[in-house]
A and B are shown apart, each in its own frame.
Chain A
Amino acid sequence: MAIMTEAEARTILEKVVALSTADECTASLTGSTEGNIRFALNNVSTSGVVDNVDLAVRVAFGRRVGSATINEFSDAALARVVQRAEALAKLAPENPEFVPAVGKQTYRPTNTFSQATAAITPETRAGIARASIEPCRAQKLVAAGFLEDGQSFVAFANSNGNFGYQRATQMDYTCTVRTDDGRGSGWVGTNLQDIGGFDAGRDVNIAMRKASASVDAQALEPGKYTVILEPAAAAGLIGFMARFFDARQADEGRSFLSKAGGGNKLGEQVYDPRVTLVCDPAHPELAVMPWDEDGVPRERQTLVDKGRVTDLFYSRFWAQKQGKKAAGQPGNLIMSGGTKSTADLVRETQRGVLVTRTWYIRMVDPQTVLLTGLTRDGTFYIENGQIKYPLKNFRFNESPVIMLNNIDELGRPVRVNTEGRFQMMIPPMRLRDFTFTSLSDAV
C-alpha cells in the first residue's frame, strides 16, 4: 500500500532512527499513488497507475553526511539501509556547509488533502478523456490532452525527536484542441487539489472556442503592445523570476536582486506598488505541506510588499552565516490582484493583445531576468473591448521585472498549472509596452 497511516509510518521511522549509531539520523517516508491518462488525435494513447513508497535515511558523523533509500520495510531491510547510509557517510568528504538536523518542531497542519481526488479511479480518468474527446469529434476538432492525479503522504522523524506526517492530493488537466486542418489551436489547463469543482466538458469548451476562433490569424508588426496575459501565460514569466529570490545568489552579486557596490536589494522598490508576492503554506486555495525538505516549518512570507522587496529565500546555511532566521523554503507563490476576470479586463481594453499561453520560456540574461518565449494556442487582437481577430503568434523578449513596472491593471488571482518549483496563484494582467520581437508561423 503506497499510502501509509500515521501509525504505520511512525513505527517504521522510529525503528530506523533507533537503529542508527551516527551522530544524527533523519528518516523520511514518501509514498504516492499517481494515475494518468493521455490522449491525442481524439484517441486515448496511454494510461496507467504507479504506486511507490520510498524510505530515505540521512545520517551524519560530524560534518560527513550519507544518505540511502530503500523500498522494502522488513527489519532486515531497515537495518541494511541504515548501514548503507552510515557507510556512505564515513566515506564522504566533510561538508563545510553542513547544518545539523532540525530540533523538535511544532507544525500547523495545512489543508492539502481531498478525499474526492484520492478516490479518482481509472473510470474517472477514462470519463474525463471521453468528455474531452467527444465534443471535439462532433465538431471536426482534434483533442490532445493529459490528466495526472495523485495522492501522497510524507512522514519523517529524526534523532532530535522531530516528527511530521501529512497527506496531500492534486490533479492537473491540460487539453490542446486543434482544428482538423491545423489552422487553429486552443488550450485550457486546470490545477486543483480537490477534483470536486472540475468539469472537463466546460474546460474543453474553452479550448474548442479558442481553436475555432484562431483560424485565419493575421500578422501584426512586432513591437511594444498593451497585452492582457491570462493567469497561465503570466505564471510562466513570474514563476521563472521567483527562482532568483535566493538570498545567497543576491548577496554574492549574481542576481537581479544584487546591488551595485555589493549587498542585495532588500527594502528597495523594485516593482509597481500594486505588486505583492507572498508564500503561504496555509493558503485556503493553494495549501502546501507545512514544512520544507529539511523539515523546517514553512511560514507566511512576504517577498514583495507593494512593490518593495521585503524578503528573500535563505537556506539554513546562508541564514546562519548572515545572522538571519531560516524559514522553511516555500512551496507556493501567490500574487495579489483585484477582482476582475480576464473577460472583464478585455471589455475595458481599447486596443491590445490577449495571450492565452506562453511557451518555451528561457533565460536570455540573468542580469535583468530577460526572458524569451512565444505565445501559443490562442492569441487575439482586442479593439474597443471586443476580441476582433486572431493573431499570428509572437516571440517575446521581456523581463518580468520590467513587465511588473508596466502594470495597467491586475485581475483576480487564480490557481494555475505550473511546471516549476512553486504552485502558484496569479492574476490576469493588462500590461503596457510588452515587447514582441518577431512573428512565428506556428499554430
Chain B
Amino acid sequence: MDRRQFLAACGIGAGGVLLPGFTGRAIAAEQLVEPIEAAVKRRLADAGLGAATEAGASYCDVRVGRYMRQFVLTREATVQNVVNTESTGCGVRVIADGAWGFAATNTMTTDAVAQAARLAVAIAKANAKSQTAPVRLAPAQGVGEVSWRTPIQRNAMAVPLKEKADLLLGVNAAAMGAGASFVNSSLFLVNEQKYFASTDGSYVDQDVHRIWAPFTVTAIDKASGKFRSREGLSAPMGMGYEYLAGNAADKVTSPNGVISYDKSYDMREDAVAAARQAQEKLKAPSVKPGRYDLVLDPNHLGLTIHESVGHPLELDRVLGYEANYAGTSFATLDKRQARFQYGSDIVNIVADKTQPGSLGAVGYDDEGIKTKQWPLIEKGKLVDYQATRDQAHILGKTASDGCSYADSWSTVQFQRMPNVSLQPGTNGLSLADMIGGVDNGIYILGRGSFSIDQQRYNAQFGGTLFYEIKNGKITQPIEDVAYQMRTPEFWAACSAICDQRDYRLFGSFFDGKGQPSQVSAVSHGSATTRFDGINVINTARSLG
C-alpha cells in the first residue's frame, strides 16, 4: 500500500486528480512555462545549508524543486482528461552524528526551509542512536554555480493544448479509418526544474524535460469474440515536442516493412500501421513451442536489458536494502571480484547519464555529482555496479557514479538506475543481414508482458509484434509468443549484434522502486540483437 492506494481505498472525493506516481496541485496550462528565479532558489537553499550547519550537521544538501506534469488522455473521438499538475517545495537532507536525516516543506520561505533543516538534523541525531556504522560519503568537489538543460528544440509545456488534442484525435481518427475497433492515445509530458545546493559548495540549476506518446489500438472479431491489441512503437524520450515531428530520416524499415522510429516519431503513421497489424494478429497462426533463434528489435530488447541487467546491478539491491520489496540480486559482490561471465564476449553494456535524448540524461545527479558513462559488462564479464556517494566506498571507489535521484522535492534521493545500454556490434551487420542468417527464428518488436524473479534470474517476456523467420526469410506474423530465460544463459546465447546504424533507444517512463515507492524514467539503447536457442512457450489458452 502506498499513499495513492491508501487514498483510493478510502474513496477520495470527486474531482481528485491523482495519477500514477504524482500528486500536485492542478494549475492552468500557461503556468507550466514560468520558472522560479535562480536567485530565489539560492536564497532558500542557503537558508537551509546555514541552519543545518549551525544545528550540527557535518553535511547538508537542499533541493528546491518545481515538478510539472501535463497528461492528455483520449479515446477515439473523445478527450477524456487533461491534467496539469505542479508540485513545488524544498527537501533538506543532512548528515549529523554520522546518520542521515531528511525533512521537506512546501512553504517557500527562508524560515520554513531553515526549520526543515533543523528538523532534518534532529531526525539524523535520533537515527544515529541505533545506527551500527556511520555514513561514509565519497569525496566530491563543489562545482560552484552551474546549470544544465535538456537540449530541447520545442518546450512541450508551451505547445497549446489544442495542438496536442488535435494531434491525438487525428491519430485516433487515422487508426479508426484504417480498421481499428478502438484506440486510446495519450501524451505524458514532464518538466523537472531542480535546484541542488550542498555544503560542498555546489549550486546546480537544472531544467529537465521528458515526453511520452503511447497508444493502444484494438481490433475485435465479434463473431469469434477474439480481440488483439497493438501498442505504439514510440519510445519515451528526454526530448521536447520536436520528438513528434516524424522526420523521414528517423524512420527505420525492417525487411518485412515494419517501420520503427529513432529520434523522432510519426504517431499517426504508426497508428495506421497498428490498425492493420492488430487485424493481422487476429488471423495469425499460433506459435509452435520450442527453441528458436530470437531476433530482438531495440524497442523490445530495451525492457529485457532493463530487467535482466539494469536492476540486478543496482548496488542497494545487491546489498539487501530492497529485500522486502523489489528483491535482491543474483549478481552478488563476489561475482564482480571474480569477473563473472554474464554473457557472451560480444556483450558490452554501459551505464550512462549523459546520452542525448535519453530519459536518464542530466548534467548532475540529485547529489550534485557530474554525470558520466562507465562500463558494467565488458566482453561479457561483470565489471561494475551503479552507486551513489554513500555506497562508493563499498566498491572501493573514490567517487560516486552519479546515480542518485528523487522523484520529488518531498522524497529522499536514493540509488536509481542510470541508462543501461548494450553497445552496438563493431563488425558491419545490418538487420537484413542478421535475419538472412537465421534458419528457424522469431523476430520480435515492441514491449509486451514482462515478469522476472526477485533475484533477476528467471524471466518471461512477451512482445508487440512477432514474425516467423524460416531459412533467412521473414515468412508470416505469428501469435501467442513468450520466451522464458535464465539471465546468464540468455546473455551467453547472444550471438550477433547489428552495428551502430541500427542503434535506437527504448524507454521506461514509470519505473518503480523503494518503500514508499518512487518512480523514475530511464532509457536503454541497443541495436537489433540475436539470441540463439531460446525457449519459446505458447500462451494461448481456452476458457471453454
Contacts and interface: CB of A to CB of B under 8 A. Distances in A.
Interface in B522-542: 535, 537, 539-542
Interface string A110-140: 0010000000000000000000000000000
A409 B21 CA distance: 39
Interface in B485-544: 486, 515-516, 535, 537, 539-544
B537 A437 contact: yes
A152 B15 contact: no
Interface stretch (A92-100, A212-220, A299-307): A92-100
A256 to B, nearest CB: 6
A44 B130 contact: yes
Given A41-B321, A364-B539, A365-B541, A154 B12 contact: yes
Interface in B1-51: 1-3, 5-17, 23-29
Closest 8 CB pairs of A and B: A28-B13, A58-B15, A260-B225, A289-B11, A156-B13, A440-B458, A442-B455, A144-B323
Given A170-B10, A364-B449, 4 more contacts: A26-B14, A253-B220, A376-B453, A442-B455
Interface stretch (B75-83, B204-212, B234-242, B429-437): B75-83
A41 B12 contact: no
A46 B132 contact: no
B223 interface: yes
> Which secondary structure dominates where chain B touches chain A?
loop
A303 B393 CA distance: 56
B349 to A, nearest CB: 21
Given A254-B182, A293-B14, A437-B537, A170 B6 contact: yes
B540 A84 contact: no
Q: Choose among B132, B319, B324 the residue with the greatest number of A CB atoms under 10 Å from its CB.
A: B324
Contact of A258 (B10, B84, B227, B327): B227
B374 to A, nearest CB: 26
Nearest to A29: B13
A156 B15 CA distance: 10
Contact of B13 (A52, A295, A402): A295
Contact of A32 (B6, B24, B324, B456): B6
B462 A261 contact: no
B413 to A, nearest CB: 12
B542 A440 contact: no
B320 interface: yes
A30 B9 CA distance: 12
B11 A331 contact: yes
Contacts of A34: 3, 6
B148 interface: no
B330 interface: yes
Given A95-B80, A372-B460, A399 B15 contact: no
A235 interface: no
Contacts of B130: 43-44
B451 A96 contact: no
A68 B27 contact: yes
Contacts of B182: 252, 254
B412 interface: yes
B1 A69 contact: no
Interface in B309-339: 319-325, 327-328, 330, 332
Contact of A441 (B457, B480, B535): B457
A432 B416 CA distance: 41
B458 A395 contact: yes
Contact of A288 (B10, B29, B78, B102): B10
A405 B541 CA distance: 14
Contacts of B544: 405
Interface residues of A, number: 115
Contacts of B541: 365, 368, 370, 399, 402
B423 interface: no
Interface string B113-143: 0000000000000010011100000000000
Given A172-B1, A421-B8, A40 B13 contact: no
Nearest to B456: A442
Contacts of B516: 36, 148
A145 interface: yes
Contacts of B226: 367
16 contacts: A40-B324, A43-B131, A43-B132, A84-B26, A156-B13, A172-B1, A261-B223, A295-B14, A365-B541, A366-B229, A368-B540, A370-B541, A374-B454, A393-B453, A401-B543, A442-B455
A146 B325 contact: yes
A354 interface: no
Nearest to B161: A91
Interface in A219-276: 252-254, 256, 258-262, 270
Contacts of A23: none
Interface string A292-321: 111100100000000000000000000000
A28 B12 contact: yes
A40 B323 contact: yes
Contact of B218 (A85, A91, A254): A254
A253 B6 contact: no
A87 interface: yes
A419 interface: yes
A152 B455 contact: no
Contacts of B486: 441
A407 interface: no
A175 B544 CA distance: 40
B96 to A, nearest CB: 15
A418 B6 CA distance: 10
A158 B226 CA distance: 43
Nearest to A329: B11
A397 B539 contact: yes
B109 interface: no
B458 A148 contact: no
A440 B457 contact: yes
B323 A176 contact: yes
Given A293-B11, A364-B482, A374 B453 contact: yes
Given A40-B320, A84-B28, A259-B225, A170 B9 contact: yes
B10 A362 contact: no
B224 interface: yes
A96 B76 CA distance: 11
Contacts of B178: none
Contacts of B106: 71
Given A71-B25, A364-B462, A439-B458, A28 B540 contact: no
A170 B1 contact: yes
Nearest to B321: A40
Given A395-B458, A439-B458, A253 B227 contact: yes
A174 interface: yes
B539 A30 contact: no
A56 B542 contact: no
A399 B222 contact: no
Nearest to B24: A69
Contacts of B5: 418-420
A272 B484 CA distance: 31
B452 interface: yes
Contacts of A44: 127, 130
A342 interface: no
A211 B181 CA distance: 50
A238 to B, nearest CB: 16
